[in-house]
Structure 1
Amino acid sequence: MGGTGMKAALVGADGALLHEARRATDRKRGPEAVVRSILDFAAELHAYGEEHLGRPASAAGVAVPGIVDDENGIAVYAANLGWRDVPLRKLLSAELRGVPVALGHDVRTGGLAEGRIGAGRDADRFLFLPLGTGIAGAIGINGVIEAGAHGYAGEIGHVVVRPGGVDCGCGQRGCLERYASASAVSLAWAAASGDPEADAADCAKAVESGDPRAVTVWQDAVDALADGLITAITLLDPRTLIIGGGLAEAGETLFLPLRAAVTERVTFQKLPLIVPAALGDTAGCLGAGLLAWDLLSTEVTA
Structure 2
Amino acid sequence: MRHVIALDVGGTGMKAALVGADGTLLHESRRATGREHGPEAVVEAILGFAAELRAHGEERYGQSAAAAGVAVPGIVDTANGVAVYAANLGWRDVPLRALLGERLGGVPVALGHDVRTGGLAEGRIGAGRGTDRFLFVPLGTGIAGAIGIGGTIEEGAHGCAGEIGHVVVRPGGPECGCGRRGCLETLASASAVSRAWAAASGDPEADAADCAKAVASGDETAARVWREAVDALADGLVTALTLLDPRRLIIGGGLAEAGETLFAPLRAAVRARVTFQTPPSIVPAALGDAAGCLGAGLLAWDLLATSDTLTTEVTG
TM-score band, normalised by the shorter chain? over 0.9
Which residue of structure 2 lines up, in the alignment, with residue 37 of structure 1?
A: 45
Which residue of structure 1 lines up, in the alignment, with residue 269 of structure 2?
A: 261
Cα drift, residue 28 of structure 1: 1.8
1:18 aligns with 2:26: yes
Question: What secondary structure is seen at the aligned counterpart in 2 of 1:75?
Answer: strand
1:77 aligns with 2:85: yes
The question of whether the paired residues in 2 share the 8 Å contact of 1:13 and 1:290 is answered with no
Question: What secondary structure is seen at the aligned counterpart in 2 of 1:290?
Answer: helix
Which residue of structure 2 lines up, in the alignment, with residue 275 of structure 1?
A: 283
Over residues 115-149 of structure 1, what are the superposed CA-to-partner deviations in whole Å (9 max), with x where a residue is unaligned?
A: 00111011111100000010000000111000000
Question: What secondary structure is seen at the aligned counterpart in 2 of 1:99?
Answer: coil
Question: What secondary structure is seen at the aligned counterpart in 2 of 1:243?
Answer: strand
Task: State the TM-score, normalizing by the size of structure 1.
Answer: 0.98
- Provide the C-alpha distance between the structure 1 equivalents of 2:278 and 2:309, rounded to a whole number of angstroms: 38
Which residue of structure 2 lines up, in the alignment, with residue 54 of structure 1?
A: 62
Which residue of structure 1 lines up, in the alignment, with residue 115 of structure 2?
A: 107
Over residues 25-72 of structure 1, what are the superposed CA-to-partner deviations in whole Å (9 max), with x where a residue is unaligned?
A: 111222111111111111111111122133221000100011111011
- Provide the C-alpha distance between the structure 2 equivalents of 1:30 and 1:169, rounded to a whole number of angstroms: 20
Unaligned runs of 5+ in 2: 1-8, 311-316
Counterpart amino acid of 1:124? D
- Provide the C-alpha distance between the structure 1 equivalents of 2:257 and 2:242, rounded to a whole number of angstroms: 26
Query: Greater CA deviation, 51-60 or 200-209?
Result: 51-60
Counterpart amino acid of 1:149? A
Which residue of structure 1 lines up, in the alignment, with residue 183 of structure 2?
A: 175
- Provide the C-alpha distance between the structure 1 equivalents of 2:62 and 2:280, rounded to a whole number of angstroms: 44
Matched residue count:
302
Over aligned residues, Cα RMSD in angstroms?
Answer: 0.8
Counterpart amino acid of 1:45? L
Identity %: 81
Over residues 167-226 of structure 1, what are the superposed CA-to-partner deviations in whole Å (9 max), with x where a residue is unaligned?
A: 111121111101100000000000100011110000000001100000000010000000
Question: What secondary structure is seen at the aligned counterpart in 2 of 1:72?
Answer: coil
The question of whether the paired residues in 2 share the 8 Å contact of 1:187 and 1:199 is answered with yes
The question of whether the paired residues in 2 share the 8 Å contact of 1:15 and 1:117 is answered with no
Counterpart amino acid of 1:112? L
- Provide the C-alpha distance between the structure 1 equivalents of 2:173 and 2:294, rounded to a whole number of angstroms: 37
- Provide the C-alpha distance between the structure 1 equivalents of 2:130 and 2:287, rounded to a whole number of angstroms: 15
- Provide the C-alpha distance between the structure 2 equivalents of 1:270 and 1:78, rounded to a whole number of angstroms: 36
Cα drift, residue 271 of structure 1: 1.1
- 2:229 is aligned, of 221, 224, 236, to 221
Counterpart amino acid of 1:26? G
Which residue of structure 2 lines up, in the alignment, with residue 286 of structure 1?
A: 294
